[in-house]
A and B are shown apart, each in its own frame.
Chain A
């Protein structure tokens, strides 16, 4: 699914949020930056946040127990239906992201997974049968919450406000915060920054 489609779908699912959730995300974004010694409007690299949360990001190619056929398929156009996976035990949390995606998209996907960790979302069940048939849970509420927190972590409102105030060109903003054009537009719309700075 293209990111813009994901975001359009997300627009329609926003009513799944509990009251105060969006403010909580902005607060979490500020708190995390503070813990990491960053200013509230600084970019937040996913590697830095993963380190703070003790989450290991492993490249698909480096998974020792995965066959080459799966590695090839999951990095191909045909297998381009996934963005990231998180597995966890009490001792370790691992995130694997799709290596074929752009860095901006991987950044959003990994932040989405880290958001699941921050929000302490219960992992979904994946059922495997003997012939390799797999089914999994899909929790709309958890997914939309993780989407929103990921966006807030990458581009908090204070950062969008700074970028608008400084008239930072969009391309420079995308590069500085390592986000996609779709996510940038989405966040500006959802935080009403585009209306606040209209015509300025």
Chain B
């Protein structure tokens, strides 16, 4: 009894001023855009302690759905909205308005011990189709390729699907994981693995490959030379009211600090600032 009473007291200590004009913003969506959203949120919350910005990372598809059903203010997506989603939005009186906050390249990554340095787009597609199943077919060691892919709720997957697979189906022996971070974990611990991640997730524990002779970097993505490049979106319902919190958040990327943050996280800023 006493325990419960003390717990309740403890909780009431935080009752505080729940009503007093605390502003709130909720984001949901892509795990690729997630780190950017989280960094932006922290920047905003540091400058104004009355803010409460919550970030959910459940996949680009869910970001769209949350925005359409009014469950979030900003839907982060690493792919553009699909026609079906637009239709649904219109039916719900939501006008999805895209804001491109950063650029990204999907890097094809392997374990650093893998001698492979460059692959052609066709070869990547065949690996994911299952047609090439052993590294020795590409001049590497005699190991079965462990194909790592994303599950169907992922914007990264959709972009990869569109730009690389081009209507082919990923082989069903591929392991599916739920996020960029998980792809990285799998590939960095498995010598025979291959996977794809957003550029911001590439670090020393992975090796990014040249695709069709182009290495993913800020220059090659901004100039469009890297073949698997994509914009990262934040969708809002109609263009946000000037000066509102949502407006400030989705135009933050235009400021110098915003661009610097994007670059520090590892993605490509849209402009040269």
Instruction: Judge: A and B partners, yes or no.
Output: no
Q: Which residues of A contact B (CB under 8 A)?
A: none
Q: Which residues of B contact A (CB under 8 A)?
A: none
